[in-house]
Amino acid sequence: MTLEELSDNFELLEDWEDKYRYIIDLGSKLPIFEEKLRTEEWKVQGCSSQVWLVPTVQENKLFFQGDSDAAIVKGLLSIVLMIFSGKTSQEIEKINGETIFTSLGLQENLSPSRRNGLFSMIEKIKYYAKNLKG
């Protein structure tokens, strides 16, 4: 799914309940995350649930896979991957995750103090974009 399609789907959802049911559903559809990757190395710090994020570089592009043990966080993670995965470092650096989440009406998840990890996930992706040759 593209970000545009996601945004269109979101507009059909009337209230927060439908929206979050949909987000949880998105998370449950993420590809299976390999058990051996659930290590400290790939953990995103600063979340009150566990979040893992693993980058790979292919033909100048960064691809990410990830997982979380909390369902809403996993759903938000799937949106993060939709936004950032498959882009070059330069593209990733230019993307303002905050603006996108705000336009999706999900800004309540963005504050660093919420500790649901969205903020930390985006920071981590930006960190990889800066430090991996993509």
| DSSP state letter for 45 | S
AA identity, residue 27: G
CA angle 98, 56, 45 (to 5 degrees): 50
Beta strands in the chain (DSSP E): 51-58, 61-68
Contact letters for other proteins, residues 65-104 (x by CB under 8 A): ----xxxxx-------------------------------
Nearest CB to other proteins, comparing residues 8 and 69: 69
Which residue carries 């660093």 as its tokens? Answer: 112
Specify whether the CB–CB gap between 49 and 116 falls below 8 A. yes
Nearest CB to other proteins, comparing residues 15 and 35: 15
> Which range touches other proteins (CB under 8 A), out of 15-23, 82-90, 97-105, 124-132?
15-23
Query: Could you say whether residue 120 binds other proteins (CB under 8 A)?
Result: no
Q: Which residues are catalytic?
A: 47
Shortest Cβ 111–other proteins spacing (Å): 13
- Neighbouring CB atoms inside 10 A of 53's CB total 24
- Residues lying near other proteins in the complex (CB under 8 A) are found at 16-17, 20-21, 24, 48-49, 69-73, 116
